[in-house]
Amino acid sequence: MFVNRVGIAVVLGLLLGATARANAADKKAATDAKAAADAKAAKAKPVVDKKSLPAARLEAARAALAGEDDAAAIATAASLGGSGAGNAAEPLAELLAIGAAPARAEAALDALGKLGAEGALTAPRAFEVLDLYSGHHAPEIRQRAVKALGTIKDGRAVPTLLARLGDVAPGVRAAAGDALAARHERAATPRLLALIKRSDAGAASPLAALATPDLIPQIAELAGTVDDGVLATTLGEYAQRGDVPDRLRLDVVRTIAKLSGAGAATALVEYVASVPAKEDRPSKREAQKLLDQRGAAQRTRRRHARVRASSWSRRRPPRSRPARRARTSAPATRARSRRRSRDRNRRRHRRAASSSWSWAARPARASRRTISRRRALCGRSPAP
């Protein structure tokens, strides 16, 4: 009985000692971690909070935007756009809502676009103002408004962007297409394809970003009916996408090679450059081979052109039409023409006289005087 009690006491003592040592180790580790965190925080630079601007700065910005100094207003708009603050859009939206000069309006729209690119365009009136200015009468302001509108993460902007694809200004259409492509809006694909059929260069990149594999044959069939440069840009940027199978890329590369102009060569060069150097693709090899063939054909054409130019340079330069008329009307030229005509007639009569059916054998068809003249031309005695 006594032995059991002693054993139990020894076991309990060992357990308590192990627990105490474990707690001491945990406390030491926690202390070391806290000390390291404090040291790291002391070395780190203080982080400036850009989520909101103070009220005093917003009031000063409003005063500068509404002031008479255009340069100060434009600089204030640029400062608000680069601040990245969520409430920086409020003075800009207020300025656009009450109306402003074109220079100030453009600066305010550019600032809203910068805020939207940083994800800070959260002002309630921002969408309404941008939607209103997307229909402005000036194309430059419409283009800036559409760019800023495309940065808003709001589904209400999609109908306006789709409508701007039918704008009369090419820059506005291109900005709307880029915004829809950035949103991956497949609903814009039919309208972009219609613009490509009209050889609209601004729709090439957006359509390449939104096109699906079943749409590529329809685009390739447009060869010969649209501008080759627009078609080459569309197919070239589509081939650079990472989600395109290489078998389809091979067909796209061959279609580009059939197009004429510098745009096709540029598309092939950009595709080859976009592929990593260590990656071996059949489409990349095919594009490089086609580029080499185009280069060889171009060098051959240049060489032939140089040969033709050098051969023409050794020839006598042709006379202009007035000079020919002047020389034709000269007495010496007329005399030379008469001599040539006389010699030509003599040769013809000599050939006729030497043949078996000569003019002298047909006195009934010619007068005596004519026969004598012909005999004199041939060197014979006149007719009796």
User: Taking the domains of the chain in order of start, what are their residue ranges?
Assistant: 62-180, 184-307
CA atoms of 96 and 139, how far apart (whole Å): 16
Which pLDDT score, from 0 to 100, does residue 193 have?
95
CATH superfamily of 62-180: Leucine-rich Repeat Variant (1.25.10.10)
Q: What is the DSSP letter of 260?
A: -
At 53-102, the pLDDT tens digits run 888 888 898 899 888 888 999 999 999 988 888 888 889 999 999 888 99
Q: Both tokens of residue 39?
A: 């040291």
CA atoms of 127 and 121, how far apart (whole Å): 9
Sign of CA dihedral 63, 92, 110, 142: negative
Half-sphere exposure of 205 (CA within 13 A, CB side): 11
Q: What is the mean pLDDT of residues 14-29?
A: 50
Q: How much of the chain exceeds pLDDT 70, in percent?
A: 73
Which pLDDT score, from 0 to 100, does residue 48 have?
38
pLDDT band at 319 (very low <50, low <70, confident <90, very high): low
CA atoms of 174 and 258, how far apart (whole Å): 27
Which pLDDT score, from 0 to 100, does residue 123 have?
74
At 221-238, the pLDDT tens digits run 999 899 999 999 999 999
Residue 162: alpha-carbon gap to chain centroid: 21
Which pLDDT score, from 0 to 100, does residue 340 have?
87
Q: What is the mean pLDDT of residues 270-299?
A: 89
Nearest to 238 by CA among 261, 214, 260: 214
Which pLDDT score, from 0 to 100, does residue 378 have?
65
138-163 core/surface letters (b: 16 or more CB in 10 A; e: else): eeebbbbbbbbbbbbeeeebbebbee
Which pLDDT score, from 0 to 100, does residue 186 have?
92
Sign of CA dihedral 126, 129, 130, 131: positive
Whether 107 and 76 have beta carbons less than 8 Å apart is answered as: no
pLDDT band at 17 (very low <50, low <70, confident <90, very high): low
Nearest to 298 by CA among 272, 333, 260, 255: 260
Which pLDDT score, from 0 to 100, does residue 42 have?
43
Which pLDDT score, from 0 to 100, does residue 11 have?
44
